[in-house]
């Protein structure tokens, strides 16, 4: 199932019992309360509960966000966004929720990589990403500081950062487990490599760059704005 989804949402508890009912039948009723949570530790999953308002009878209701193991940090970010989006009050009080605090936590075990050529969706080398459980998170452009070349083999482009005369180049941002990143980089042939790539929004990610010597006999295709446009024109 985790090959097809990023997160699962369930009720935190399917119902609520009165104290006297629990005392009269604790084992069975506690099993019912744990119906949506007991399996999580057994399957080594990450999960966090989020308040989700109140039922028609005035009793509180919550949901649980569930993700694969070691996805605690992105799960907490998502839970924070969800709680803020739902609004509501602070617990059972009349106080409004405070602004969300920035979660200064450990890295989430994922690495983002910008691709500009044959690794784009549907192109010949995209499988090198998908077979490493990478997923597409954004389609965007680089900052306008690059020149773009079709390398002599005709199969790959090269991206070079320049001080002047650059342009924005279409790219995709893929996210893969950090444990898969090393083998991915090791398979990249010269003159290409992975360096720091600046995006149009000013952020910086790992991305494909080219050694300067690699474009000596290459064709400048910057005017096409991306590898797909160059392929379509040829």
d(CA 186, CA 205): 18
The CATH number assigned to the domain with range 110-233 reads 3.10.490.10
d(CA 63, CA 167): 46
Q: What is the mean pLDDT of each run of 10 residues along the chain (234 residues)?
A: 88 92 95 92 92 86 90 86 83 79 64 96 96 92 97 93 96 92 94 95 94 92 97 94
Beta-bridge mates of residue 150:
157, 219
- pLDDT in the model for residue 104: 59
Q: Domain ranges in the chain?
A: 8-86, 110-233
DSSP string covering 168-203: --EEEEEEEEHHHHHHHHHTPPTTEEEEEEEBTTS-
Q: How much is the pTM?
A: 0.63
d(CA 106, CA 25): 42
């Amino acid at each position: 199932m985790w090959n097809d989804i990023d997160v699962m949402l369930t009720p935190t508890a399917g119902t609520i019992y009165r104290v006297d009912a629990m005392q009269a039948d604790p084992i069975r009723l506690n099993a019912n309360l744990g119906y949506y949570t007991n399996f999580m530790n057994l399957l080594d999953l990450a999960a966090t509960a989020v308040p989700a308002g109140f039922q028609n009878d005035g009793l509180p209701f919550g949901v649980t966000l569930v993700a694969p193991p070691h996805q605690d940090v992105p799960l907490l970010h998502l839970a924070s966004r969800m709680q803020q989006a739902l609004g509501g009050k602070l617990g059972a009080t009349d106080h409004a929720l405070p602004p969300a605090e920035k979660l200064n936590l450990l890295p989430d075990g994922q690495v983002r990589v910008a691709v500009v050529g044959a690794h784009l969706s549907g192109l010949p080398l995209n499988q090198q990403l998908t077979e490493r459980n990478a997923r597409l998170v954004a389609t965007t452009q680089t900052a306008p500081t690059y020149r773009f070349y079709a390398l002599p083999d005709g199969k790959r482009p090269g991206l070079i950062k320049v001080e002047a005369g650059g342009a924005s180049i279409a790219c995709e941002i893929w996210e893969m487990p950090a444990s898969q990143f090393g083998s991915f980089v090791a398979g990249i042939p010269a003159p290409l490599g992975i360096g720091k790539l600046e995006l149009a929004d000013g952020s910086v990610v790992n991305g494909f760059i080219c050694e300067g010597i690699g474009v000596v006999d290459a064709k400048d295709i910057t005017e096409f704005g991306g590898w797909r446009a160059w392929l379509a024109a040829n």
